[in-house]
Structures are given as C-alpha cells and as structure tokens.
Structure 1
Amino acid sequence: MTVKERIAALRARMKETGIDAYLIPTDDFHGSEYVGEYFKCRKYITGFTGSAGTAVIMQDMAGLWTDGRYFIQAADQLEGTGITLFKMGEPEVPTVHEFLKKNLTQGRCLGFDGRTVSAKEAAELEKMLDENGVSLSVDHDLAGDIWENRPVLSCEPVTELDIKWAGESRADKCARIRKAMEKKGADLFVLTSLDDIAWLLNIRGGDIHCCPVVLSYLVMTKTEIRLFANEKAFQTDVLEALEKDGVTLFPYDGIYEYVKTFKKDKKVLLCKKKVNSRLVSNIPADTRILDEENLTLLPKATKNPVEVENERIAHIRDGVAVTKFIYWLKKNVGRIPITELSAAEKLYEFRSEQEDFIDNSFDPIIAYGKHAAIVHYFATPETDIPLEPSGFLLADTGGHYKEGTTDITRTVVMGPTTEEEKKYFTAVLRGTLNLGAARFLHGCTGVNLDILARQPLWEMGENFKHGTGHGVGYLLNVHEGPNSFRWKIVPGGNAVLEEGMITSDEPGYYREDGFGIRHENLMVCKKAEKTEYGQFMCFEFLTMVPFDLDGVVPELMSARERNLLNDYHAQVYEKISPYLNEEEKEWLKDATRAI
C-alpha cells in the first residue's frame, strides 16, 4: 500500500472504533529513542524514516511533527502524501498538544496505543482535552491493525557483560539500587527503559538495531527481581547466572497482569516520563506511586573508573579506524569510484579490523556536498551519490566495542573549497575546542556551557538547530541522558555534569542545498582543582582523530584556540601513529602539524 492508501485504511478503522484523531508517536513500549522494526508504526503510516517525530491522523488532515534535524528530510519524504509537516520549535508552529486542543471539540475522541505513550504525557493529554469535553481511547493499536506483514517482535540472544568490561557486578549494582529504594521509602521499583535494565543486570542483546538492549520490563522489591522478557532469548547459562543473583524470568507481556497485584499498602517507585500509560493504569488506584527519575539514571550515566579506562582504549581503536579511513578517502577520491554508501562500507571494514569491535553504534551518516546540510541524512540506494575531489564530506559514525561506545563526526575536505566554507569550518571547530577546554564549578549543567560552542557562530548571526551534545552509554545507546549541552532550558535536560559522565561535543553549521559541517568529539567529565570556591571540573577528549587542517583558517583563530588544536593533534599523533603503516604515519604527521 502507498502512504495515502495506508492513511485511508487507518481512517476506516478510526470510524469503526469511534476515534476522531489518532496519535502515533515514534516510541516503542519502553520509550526508546530508536525502536525495533515491529514498533515502527509512524514510519509505516507516514513514510517518514527519521528517528524523532509524531503523527496525528484525522479524517480531514494528517500531520507530522519533527525537530530541526529532520526538516529537510521530512519535507522530501512527505511530498505528495497529503501529510502536513509541522516544524517543531519554529515561530507560530503549534505543538502536538496545542494542535489537538484547538482541533478536537466537545464529544470528540483522541485515540492512541497506551503502550506507546508515557503515563506523564497521557495524563497531560487527558487533563487538557477534558476541558474541551474530549475523551480518550487508549486500548487500540489501529496502525498495527492495518499493517500487512508486520515484522515480529525481536528476540535476539542475550549475553552477559563481564565485570572486566562493566567494572561493577550485577549484585553490587542491585544492592546500590535497593539502598536508594530504601532512602525513598519505596517497596517496589518498576523499570521499563531498556538501557537501564541492561545496565543494571549487566546483560546485552540486539533487539534494537545498533542498540544492544533486551526487550524487557523489570520489577525490583526488597527481596526479589522479576525480569519480564522472552525466555527464548536466554541461554541456560545466562538464566542460571541471573537466578543466582536473585533474578527470575517471566513472560514479556506478564508485567501488565503482575502490576494489578500490587497492594495498597506498598509504595511503588517509577518514572511516569518513561513508563507507558497502560502499565501505570493497570496499577491499582489505591497503590501509592512515587513518581521519580529512575534510580538507575545517574549511576548509569556516571561511568566508573573501569568503564572510563576501557572507553579510552575503545577510542584509540576507533581513532585508528577513522584515521585510516580519512587517509584512504583523501588518497583515493577522484582516482577510484567512491560513493556515500561504498565509503560507509569501507569505514566499517576499517573498524572491523580493530580488536573487540562488535558493530556500528548507529547507522553511519556519510553525507557529501549538499547532502551534509541534512543533519541526519542516511544514504540509500536511491540517494547515493559519488564523492568528488572538491567540497566537504561529513562523516558522523560510531562503533560498539567491548570496551565501550564511540560517536565521532569529522568533516573532511575532499578538494578545493571556498573561503566562505573555510570560514564556517573554522568557526565550528573553534566552538568544539572551546567547549572541550571548559573549566567550571561543580553544579554547572550543559545549559551553562553551551554558549562556548555556539559563540563563534552567534557572533556571525548564525546557529545550528540541534543540541550541542548528548550523553553516551557504555556499550549501550549512543544517546543517553541526563547529561547534555543545549542552549535552551528544557524539562529534564538540566542535569549537573558529574565526574565520569561522557558527553558529545558537536557544534555544526548547515547551508541548505549547499554544504554541512560538524565536528564531534566525545569527552569525559573529570574533577580539576578544588579551591575555596568549590570543586572545579574539566573535560578530557576521548576521541582521537585529526581535524582536517585543509579547512582551517588559522588567522580566524585566537592564539589560545590554535594552541588547543595543536595540543590535541599532538595527542592524536602520539596515540594513533603506532598503529599505522609508514605511509599512513607520514600522512598523519602532516595532518597533525602545528599551526
């Protein structure tokens, strides 16, 4: 079926069920950023493939809301479908909630699958729409009803993460969380976010593409841990190890009936921003719910010393692969046929040669020329273009290693570029270096520091429409909170930067139909000196790959910024050159020369 035919079929089901507007978010049953094939209802209905977006279907309109990363992509993919693009955050563009409040009137009904909408958002919708006399219908998966040949739920094998990689045993992690429960006065802890469960139990899977998580729910009490997952994914030895640490396996969907048995004298701690509304609505009304951030959130984000040291190793291995790739590109562009897709395959080949490499940490963004202006562009056989010896190639890629997860962007100068392109290339690089060199008092958040990365562009009246940085998991999701760098204060996005947090530093600049630039390093937060004013903090770059000096205009940099770049490049040469052949080493020596 075409997109128009799918929308028509969905509207027919809406009529049958008395639903006037149907909400289709990106989420799976666990609030995941990226989701498995089974859960891609929004993509199936609209044809939009971006990782963030919400669709609203009514009888007389269809809309898709997405953020600035995907404006260009969404406009292209929605063309001819009859779906209206709502550019989130732009002036006079209503939010999804504002649109629903304005367009749903007395007696109307809003529908959604309650497993794909958080309890917090469902409560907000219910309160807002109740004022208009609008009802909710939350038990129908209407998109699933019309989805022909829908993929099955993933059931990839589960493995254990050895303590030499995790740095802390499952038993010790669980003991820590139980102490936190005790402090909160909680009898039960309901955990449904997949990265948190994987971290807590030191298990990894493959139920989401490039995200080594296991489809599961977890309930912890003072004496037991119930894991709700597909038993077929677990080998006997993994099950036995879990049982030894007090973890008992139950059927994946069994969580919904189990929570109905909670007693009214028990206090249940869960995060309504993360737990889906159907699960929460199944908890007896007289049970007291403590709506708190997941107790695992900060422990997972603050990497322990073993994890940090492992990440340094992972980034050297990744740095070798990406450095070899950049050298290969510069040597061969214009001499042999290279396209965006074949370049991505070559980079995967270089990564695969590295010890303990597992897989990509996300689908590679290899974007040449004007494609680089599309922030999260992914080449397909239909869009794939050849690389030429001119302009910029933006390569935003990453890998999973047993030692951790990497995420790096380099903008590679493929040949002659304009002075304007070099001006912006240098401005973005200045932002990356200045943020990476920040020293700040403990208690600062990413909001306090974001201006360091944007200032060179802001001085020119320019900007970029995405966050400056995100937290990164340890052999988990490449995007993990709560740490981030953003200039806007957003709910839940103002976490204090703690020792051990790993965050990306990735300002950019994008000229639609022209070019795109992004420079990204991962960095770990560390303690610096302690004075009468308190504990100062700093960052250490983990990523070890040269920035392309062919795009740099030294005269546009301060002496301090040039020194920062020179010092970084000296580290890159020292750590990466021992793993290169003589030809590559000679090239890297020049590529990291002092300016």
Structure 2
Amino acid sequence: MTVKERITALRERMKEKKIDAYLVPTDDFHASEYVGEYFKCRKYITGFTGSAGTAVIMQDMAGLWTDGRYFIQAAAQLEGTGVDLFKMGEPGVPTIHQFLEEKLGEGMCLGFDGRIISAKEASELSEALGKKGASLSVDYDLVGEVWEDRPALSCEPVMELDVKWAGESRADKCAKIRKAMEEKGADAFVLTSLDDIAWLLNIRGGDVHCCPVVLSYLVMTQKEIKLFANEKAFPAEVLDALAKDGVTLLPYDSIYEYVKTFAKDMKVLLCKQKANSRLVSNIPAEVEILDEENLTLLPKAIKNPVEVENERIAHIRDGVALTKFIYWLKKNVGKIPMTELSAEEKLYSFRAQQENFIDNSFDPIISYGVHAAINHYSATPETDIPIEPRSFLLADTGGNYYEGTTDTTRTIVMGPVTDEQKKFFTAVLRGMLNLGNAKFRYGCTGVNLDYLARGPLWELGQDFNHGTGHGVGYLLNVHEGPNSFRWKVVPGNNAVLEEGMITSDEPGYYVEDGYGIRHENMIVCKKAEKTQFGQFMCFEFLTMVPFDLDAVVPEQMTAHERELLNNYHAQVYEKISPYLDEDEKAWLKEATRAI
C-alpha cells in the first residue's frame, strides 16, 4: 500500500473505534530513541524514515512533527503523501499537545497504543483534553491492525559482558542500586529502559539496530530481581550466571500482569517519563509511586576508570580505521568510481579489520555535497550519488567495540572548495576546539559551556539547528543522557558534568541545497586542579582522527586556537601512525603538520 492508502485504512479503523485523532510516535514499549523494525509504526504510516518524529492522523488532516535535524529530509519524503510537515520549535508552529487541544473538543476522542506513550505524556494529555471534554482511547494498536506483513518482535541472542569490559560486576551494581532504593524509601524499582537494564545486568543483545540491547523489563526489590524477556534469546550459560546473582527470568509480556500484584502498602520507584502508560496504569491505585529518574541513570553515565581506559583503546582502533578511510578517499577520488554507499562499505571494511570490532554504533551518515546539508542523511540505493573531486564529504559514523562505543564526524575536502566554505569550516573547527579544551568549575552543565562551540558562528550571525553534544553509552546507545551540550535548557539533559562522563562535541554549519560541515570528537570529563575556589574540571579528547587542513584558514584562528589544533594533531600522529603502512604514515605526517 502507498502512504495515502495506509492512512485511508487507518482512518477506517478510527471510525470503527470512534477515535477522532490518532497519535503515532517514534517509540517502542521502552521509550527508546531508536526502535526495532516491529515498532516503526510512524515510518510505516507516513513514509518518513528519520529517527525522530510523531504523526497525528485525523479524518481531515495528517501531520508529522519533527525537529531541525530532519526538516529537509522530512519535506522531501512527505511530498505527495498528504502528510503536512510541522517544524518543531519554529515560530508559529504549535506543539503536538497544543494542536490536539485546539482540534479536539467536547465528546471527541484521542487514540494511541498505551504501550508506546509514556505515563507522563498520557497523564498530561488526559488532563489537558479532559478540560475540553475529550477522552482517551489507549487500548488499540490501530497501525498494527493495518500493517501488512509486520515484522516480528526481535529475539537476538544475549551475551554477558565480562567485567574486564564493564569494570564492575553485576552484583556490585545491583548492591549500589539497592542502597539507593533504601535511601529513597522504595520497596521496588521498576526499570523499563533497555540500555539501563543492559548496563545494570552486564548483558548485551541485538534487539535494536546498532544498539546492543535486549527487549526486557526489570523489577528489583531488596530480595529479588525479576527480568521479563524472551527466554529463547538467552543461552544456558547466561541464564545460569544471572540466576547465581538472583535474577529470575519471566515472559516478556507478563510484566503487565505482574505489576498488578504489587501490595497496596508498597512504594514503587519508576520514571513516568520512560515507563509506558499501560504498565503504570496496571499498578494498583493504592500503591505509592515515586516518580523519579531511573536510579541507574547517573551511574551509567559516569564511566568507571576501566570503561574510560577501554574507551581510549576503542578510539585508537576507530581512529586507525577512519584515518585509513580518509587517506583512501583522498587518494582515489576522481580515479576510481565511488559513491556514498560504496564509501560506507569501504569504511566498514576498515573498521572490521580492527580487533574487537562488533558493528556500527549507528547507521553511517556518509553525505556528499548537497546531501551533507541534511543533518542525519543516510544514503539509500535511491538517493546514492557519486563522490566527485570537489566540495565536501561529511562522514558521521561510529563503531561498537568491546572496549566501548565511538561516534566521530569529519568533513573531508574532496577537491576545490570556495572561500566561503573554508570560512565556515574554520569557524566550526574553532568552536569544536574551544569547547573540547574548556576548563571550568565543578557544577557547570552543558548549557554553561555551549557558547564556546557556537561563539565563532554567532559572531558571524550564523548558527546550527541541533544540540552541540550528547552523552555516549559504553557498548550501548550512541545517544545517552543526562549529560549534553545545548544552548537552551532541555529537561532531563542538563546534568552537572561529572568526572567520567563521555560527551560528543559536534558543532556544525549547513547551507540548504549547498553543503554541510560538522566536526565531532568524543570528550571525557576529568578533574583538573582544586583551588580556594573549588574543584576545576576539564576534558580530554578521546577521538584521534585528523581534521582536514585543506579547508582551514589559519589567519581566521587565534594563536591559541592554532596551538590547540597543532597539539591535537601531534597526538593523532603519535597514537595512530604506528598502525599505518608507510604510505599512509607519510600522508598522516603531512595531514597533521603544524600550522
């Protein structure tokens, strides 16, 4: 069926159920950022393939809300579908909730699958629409009813992550969480986010593309841990190891009945922003719910010394692969056929040569020329274009290794570029270097420091339409909270920067139908000196990949900024050159020369 036919079929189901508007987010049962094929209802019903967006379907309209990363992509993919694009955050564009409050009145009904809407959002919608006399219908997966040949729920094999990689045993992690539960006065802790469960139990899987997590829920008390997952995914040795640490496996869907058995005098800690509304609504009304951030959130974000040292190794391995890739591109462009997709395959082959490489940490963004202006463009056979000896190639890619997760962006000069392109290439690089070399008092958040990255662009009256940095998991989700760099406060992503937090540093600049520039390094937060003013903090670059000096304008940089770049490039050469052949090493020597 075409998108129009799918929407028509959905509207017929809505009529049958007396539903006036149907909400289709990009979500699974666990509030995951990226979701498995089974859960891609929004993609199915609208045709938009980006990782973030929410659709609203009514009888007389269909709309998609998405953020600035996807404005260009969404406009192209929605053309001719009858689905209107709502650019989130732009002047005059209502939020989804504002739109629904305006459109739904007395006696009308909003529908959604209660398993893919958080308890927090469902409560907000219920309160707001209740004032208008509208109701909610939360029991129907209507997109699933019209989805022909829907993929099955994933059931990939589960592995145990050895403590030499994790740095801390499952038993020790659980003991710390139980202590936190006791301090909060919680009798039970309900955990539904997949990366938190994987981190806590030192297990990894493959149920979300590029995210090594396991479809599961977890309930912890002081005496037991119940894991709700598909037993078929667990090898016997993993089940035995879990059992030795007091973890009992139960069927995945049985969580909904299990929470109904909570004693009425219990206090249950969970995060309503992440737990789905059907699960929370099944907890007896008499149970006191402590609605707080997951107790695992900060311990997971603050990498232990073993994880940090492993990440240094992972980034050297990844740096070798990326350096070989850049050398290959520059040596061969215009001489052999290459496209975005063939370049993607070549980079994967370089990563696959590295010890302990597992897979990509997200779908590669290899975008040439005008495609680089689309922040999260990923080539398909339909969009794939040749890479020519001119302009920029933007490569935003990463790998999962046993030593951790990487995420690096380099903008590569493929041939002649304009003075304007060089100006903005240099401005973005200056911002990246300034943020990565920040020194600050303990207590700062990413909002305090974001100006360092945007400053060179703001001075030119320019900006970029995405966050400057995000936390990164350890062999887990490439996007991880609560640490981030943003110029505006975003609830839940504005944590104090702690020693051991790993965050991306990735300012950019984009010209629609022109070109795109982004420079991205991973940085780990460290302690600097302590003075009478308190503890000072700093960052260490983990990423070890050269920046393309062919587009750098030294005169545009301060002497200090040139020193920062030269010092960084000296580190890249020292750490990466031992793993290169003679030709590659000679090229890297020139590519990291002092300016």
- Structure 2 residue matching 1:535: 3-state secondary structure: strand
Give the aligned partner of residue 376 of structure 2.
376
Alpha-carbon separation, structure 2, partners of 1:289 and 1:390: 59
Counterpart AA for 1:351:
R
Give the aligned partner of residue 354 of structure 2.
354
Residue 432 (structure 2) pairs with residue 432 (structure 1): yes
The alpha-carbon deviation at position 590 of structure 1 amounts to 0.3
User: Normalised by the size of structure 1, how large is the TM-score?
Assistant: 1.00
Query: Deviations for 1:452-486, whole angstroms, at most 9, x for unmatched residues?
Result: 00000001110000000000000000000000000
Residue 51 (structure 2) pairs with residue 85 (structure 1): no
Give the aligned partner of residue 517 of structure 1.
517
The alpha-carbon deviation at position 492 of structure 1 amounts to 1.5
The alpha-carbon deviation at position 264 of structure 1 amounts to 1.3
Alpha-carbon separation, structure 2, partners of 1:492 and 1:176: 22
Alpha-carbon separation, structure 1, partners of 2:559 and 2:89: 37
Counterpart AA for 1:145:
E
The alpha-carbon deviation at position 493 of structure 1 amounts to 1.9
Query: Deviations for 1:325-359, whole angstroms, at most 9, x for unmatched residues?
Result: 00000000000000000000000000000000000
Number of aligned positions between the proteins: 595
Alpha-carbon separation, structure 2, partners of 1:48 and 1:89: 19
Alpha-carbon separation, structure 2, partners of 1:338 and 1:142: 43
Give the aligned partner of residue 343 of structure 2.
343
Give the aligned partner of residue 12 of structure 1.
12
Alpha-carbon separation, structure 2, partners of 1:234 and 1:421: 51
Alpha-carbon separation, structure 2, partners of 1:478 and 1:386: 28
Alpha-carbon separation, structure 1, partners of 2:140 and 2:50: 24
Give the aligned partner of residue 277 of structure 2.
277
Give the aligned partner of residue 410 of structure 2.
410
Alpha-carbon separation, structure 2, partners of 1:343 and 1:571: 26
Residue 469 (structure 2) pairs with residue 469 (structure 1): yes
Alpha-carbon separation, structure 2, partners of 1:308 and 1:318: 15
- Structure 2 residue matching 1:273: 3-state secondary structure: coil
Counterpart AA for 1:276:
N
- Structure 1 residue matching 2:256: 3-state secondary structure: helix
Alpha-carbon separation, structure 2, partners of 1:277 and 1:491: 20
Alpha-carbon separation, structure 1, partners of 2:548 and 2:63: 41
Give the aligned partner of residue 543 of structure 1.
543
The alpha-carbon deviation at position 186 of structure 1 amounts to 0.3
Residue 219 (structure 2) pairs with residue 215 (structure 1): no
Give the aligned partner of residue 226 of structure 1.
226
Equivalent positions of 1:321-340 (< 5 A) are 321-340=321-340
Alpha-carbon separation, structure 2, partners of 1:174 and 1:246: 10
Give the aligned partner of residue 255 of structure 1.
255
Give the aligned partner of residue 38 of structure 1.
38
Give the aligned partner of residue 572 of structure 1.
572
Query: Deviations for 1:184-214, whole angstroms, at most 9, x for unmatched residues?
Result: 0000000000000000000000000000000
Give the aligned partner of residue 65 of structure 2.
65
Alpha-carbon separation, structure 2, partners of 1:469 and 1:494: 11
Query: Deviations for 1:266-300, whole angstroms, at most 9, x for unmatched residues?
Result: 10000000000000000000000000100000000
Give the aligned partner of residue 583 of structure 2.
583
- Structure 2 residue matching 1:450: 3-state secondary structure: helix
Query: Deviations for 1:437-460, whole angstroms, at most 9, x for unmatched residues?
Result: 000111100000000000000011
- Structure 2 residue matching 1:456: 3-state secondary structure: helix
Alpha-carbon separation, structure 2, partners of 1:417 and 1:2: 41
Give the aligned partner of residue 245 of structure 1.
245
Query: Deviations for 1:358-407, whole angstroms, at most 9, x for unmatched residues?
Result: 00000100000000000000100010000001000000000000000000
- Structure 1 residue matching 2:258: 3-state secondary structure: helix
Counterpart AA for 2:310:
N
Alpha-carbon separation, structure 2, partners of 1:285 and 1:478: 37
Equivalent positions of 1:76-225 (< 5 A) are 76-225=76-225
Equivalent positions of 1:425-504 (< 5 A) are 425-504=425-504
Counterpart AA for 1:314:
A
Give the aligned partner of residue 398 of structure 1.
398
Residue 298 (structure 2) pairs with residue 316 (structure 1): no
Alpha-carbon separation, structure 2, partners of 1:492 and 1:240: 36
Alpha-carbon separation, structure 1, partners of 2:247 and 2:18: 43
Alpha-carbon separation, structure 2, partners of 1:78 and 1:169: 47
Give RMSD over aligned pairs: 0.3
Counterpart AA for 1:93:
V
Query: Deviations for 1:60-111, whole angstroms, at most 9, x for unmatched residues?
Result: 0000000000000000000000100000000000000000000111100000
Alpha-carbon separation, structure 1, partners of 2:493 and 2:320: 33
Alpha-carbon separation, structure 2, partners of 1:290 and 1:85: 37
Q: Percent identity?
A: 82
- Structure 1 residue matching 2:545: 3-state secondary structure: coil
Which consecutive unaligned segments of at least 5 residues does structure 1 have? none
The alpha-carbon deviation at position 494 of structure 1 amounts to 1.3
Counterpart AA for 2:284:
P
Alpha-carbon separation, structure 2, partners of 1:267 and 1:593: 61
Counterpart AA for 2:2:
T
**Conserved? CA contact 2:65–2:86, under 8 Å:** yes
- Structure 1 residue matching 2:481: 3-state secondary structure: coil
Alpha-carbon separation, structure 1, partners of 2:346 and 2:547: 20
- Structure 2 residue matching 1:432: 3-state secondary structure: helix
Alpha-carbon separation, structure 2, partners of 1:493 and 1:380: 32
- Structure 2 residue matching 1:154: 3-state secondary structure: coil
Give the aligned partner of residue 553 of structure 2.
553
Alpha-carbon separation, structure 2, partners of 1:352 and 1:52: 29
User: Normalised by the size of structure 2, how large is the TM-score?
Assistant: 1.00
Which consecutive unaligned segments of at least 5 residues does structure 2 have? none
- Structure 1 residue matching 2:23: 3-state secondary structure: strand
Alpha-carbon separation, structure 2, partners of 1:480 and 1:340: 28
- Structure 2 residue matching 1:483: 3-state secondary structure: strand
Alpha-carbon separation, structure 2, partners of 1:5 and 1:388: 39
4+ residue segments displaced more than 3 Å: none
The alpha-carbon deviation at position 490 of structure 1 amounts to 1.5
